[in-house]
């Protein structure tokens, strides 16, 4: 059954600064992940699985790759005559209009005013998780909250500038700080919120009139005392992408069968753009272990503990260890690479040797030749 009481808004460019190595040519939401997905696939699929049939994707810059991936939204059943998927590109010419979440929302106020849904789900695209948004919406309604903040418990991810909250026994937020460093286990926000559409428009109008731009500082933190803010602790397995190190770690986590089982739940599938390719081809001298190999690949060398996207060619004699090879990459014969992230269509020529480490992987830009 469709959850027609809620509409979704996805911020595709939020947190671009956290992953500059890969967001120079694309939005954070379109960063490739796990051999076949993009980061936006998880948040968008979560909304669709909760029955949300109207989703707006707020873009700022470098969104051509995102539009190519999402298309009409057919893969997510959002290509429809009424409602469905909406791309919401920048309105106006001033870059200053998009220096915060409030500014981005101010640019799509017409979309909000013309919508009829009661609630709005605001979501960033920097986390990987199969979250039951239906339970999130139900928890928001049952608690009588003005704003529900989806949170995780644990150590605050490195470089993540996020609300850290204290809560009462009933889940109501009693205090909030906005920080990018904290010691020990804390309750921190995921950049995922639920509130009424009318209240959101009221907050945006008020913040714009005061020249305020931050939803976290100027809305959440300002109204902790006089509004009902509740924390919803996400029970599902979730990984936050806040740096290149965490991006690599999240990809490698997929090599664990238990993690894949938690992320890819049969009754809540993660949808993505379908690309029909031939099965991966393994040569006579191929040696593959502990890796995920996408379709369309040609593997003639050694691949160990790596994530290999579609249409990658690993030549005979090449050694690939602890690497993420994105679509169309070519690894020449007798090359040795370790802890290397190649963006799309990278060519590593014969006999090259590249070596990074777990906390400082080597990254190679899109269309580069080494």
281-364 has which CATH code? 2.160.10.10
Checking if the pLDDT of 146 tops 80, the result is yes
Chain centre distance of CA 67:
15
The pLDDT value given to residue 92: 53
User: pLDDT by residue (tens digit) across 250-286?
Assistant: 999 999 999 999 999 999 999 999 888 889 999 999 9
CB-count exposure of residue 183 (10 Å: 0-12, 13-18, 19+) = exposed
Based on its alpha-carbon atoms, the radius of gyration of the chain, rounded to whole angstroms, reads 21
**C-alpha distance from residue 278 to each of 69, 298, 310, 365 (Å):** 20, 10, 10, 26
Question: Where along the chain do the CATH 3.90.550.10 domains lie?
Answer: 6-263
User: pLDDT by residue (tens digit) across 124-144?
Assistant: 999 999 999 999 999 999 999
If you ran DSSP here, which 8-state letter would residue 369 be given? B
Which DSSP helix (H) or strand (E) runs through 302?
strand 302-304
Q: Helices 40-49 and 133-143, interaxial angle, to 10°?
A: 60
- Average pLDDT, rounded, for the chain: 90
Question: Where along the chain do the CATH 2.160.10.10 domains lie?
Answer: 281-364
Checking if the pLDDT of 354 tops 70, the result is yes
- The topology (CATH level 3) of 6-263 is Spore Coat Polysaccharide Biosynthesis Protein SpsA; Chain A (3.90.550)
Length of the chain: 370
User: pLDDT by residue (tens digit) across 217-253?
Assistant: 989 999 999 999 999 999 999 999 999 999 999 999 9
If you ran DSSP here, which 8-state letter would residue 279 be given? P
The pLDDT value given to residue 91: 63
Which DSSP helix (H) or strand (E) runs through 112?
helix 109-114
């Amino acid at each position: 059954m469709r959850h027609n009481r809620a509409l979704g808004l996805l911020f595709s460019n939020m947190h671009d600064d956290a992953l500059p190595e890969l967001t120079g040519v694309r939005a954070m939401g379109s960063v490739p992940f796990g051999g076949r997905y993009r980061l936006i696939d998880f948040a968008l699929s979560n909304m669709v699985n909760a029955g949300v049939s109207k989703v707006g994707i707020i873009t700022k810059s470098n969104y051509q790759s995102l539009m190519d991936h999402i298309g009409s939204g057919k893969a997510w059943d959002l290509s429809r005559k009424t409602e469905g998927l909406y791309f919401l590109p920048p309105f106006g010419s001033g870059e200053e209009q998009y220096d915060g979440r409030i500014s981005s929302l101010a640019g799509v106020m017409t979309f909000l005013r013309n919508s009829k849904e009661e609630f709005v789900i605001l979501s960033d695209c920097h986390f990987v998780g199969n979250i039951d948004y239906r339970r999130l919406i139900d928890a928001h309604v049952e608690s009588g909250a003005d704003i529900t903040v989806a949170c995780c418990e644990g150590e605050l991810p490195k470089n993540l500038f996020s609300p850290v909250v204290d809560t009462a026994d009933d889940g109501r937020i009693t205090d909030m700080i906005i920080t990018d460093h904290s010691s020990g286990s804390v309750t921190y926000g995921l950049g995922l919120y639920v509130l009424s559409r009318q209240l959101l428009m009221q907050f945006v109008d008020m913040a714009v009139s005061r020249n305020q731009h931050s939803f976290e500082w100027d809305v959440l933190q300002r109204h902790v005392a006089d509004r009902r803010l509740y924390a919803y602790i996400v029970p599902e397995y979730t990984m936050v992408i806040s740096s290149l190190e965490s991006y690599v770690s999240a990809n490698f986590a997929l090599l664990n069968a238990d993690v894949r089982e938690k992320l890819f739940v049969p009754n809540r599938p993660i949808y993505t753009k379908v690309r029909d390719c031939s099965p991966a081809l393994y040569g006579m001298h191929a040696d593959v272990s502990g890796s995920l190999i996408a379709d369309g690949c040609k593997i003639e060398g050694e691949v160990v503990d790596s994530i290999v996207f579609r249409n990658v060619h690993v030549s005979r004699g090449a050694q690939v260890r602890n690497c993420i090879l994105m679509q169309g990459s070519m690894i020449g014969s007798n090359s040795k690479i370790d802890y290397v992230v190649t963006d799309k269509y990278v060519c590593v020529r014969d006999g090259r040797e590249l070596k990074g480490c777990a906390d400082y992987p080597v990254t190679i830009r899109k269309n580069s030749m080494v």
